[in-house]
Amino acid sequence: MSVTVINEMLGRTFKEVVKNENDELVFRGDYSRGVWGTVFTFFHFQEGCEKVWIEDIVGDLDDLKDEPLTEAEVVTEECDVGEGHQTWSFFKFGTSKGCVVVRWCGESEGFYSECVSLKRELTDVFDF
């Protein structure tokens, strides 16, 4: 079992937190004219025959909006299952409004990664 604190997200306030149609978890920061906003996207990069998906979400994603994140961590557990491999990743996010746990599951024959990746993008708005 491994535990990782996601320091890049702690203290940040997000205006939108959603699970999209691609089974990605997206946190959108606030931005306005001339000010950079940050978008954090949790996703799986498909390599081959593995399957990785959001199994369930416990809590209300709206609790993660408009308040600074005070908790952002992931706990990962791996195990062999028959002739395959399985990875469970529990992402825990919290604000003063509440806590949300997002459980990802990954399965493969052991040859491909089952990890969840985090992409951070800076966005800006320009008026012309």
- Provide the token pair at 55: 């199994």
Using CA atoms, how far apart are residues 74 and 39, in angstroms rounded to an integer? Answer: 18
Q: Is the dihedral of CA 109, 110, 113, 114 positive or negative?
A: positive
pLDDT on residue 34 = 52
pTM for this model (two decimals): 0.87
What are 57-114's pLDDT values in tens digits?
999 999 999 999 999 999 999 888 888 889 999 999 999 999 999 999 999 987 788 8
pLDDT on residue 125 = 60
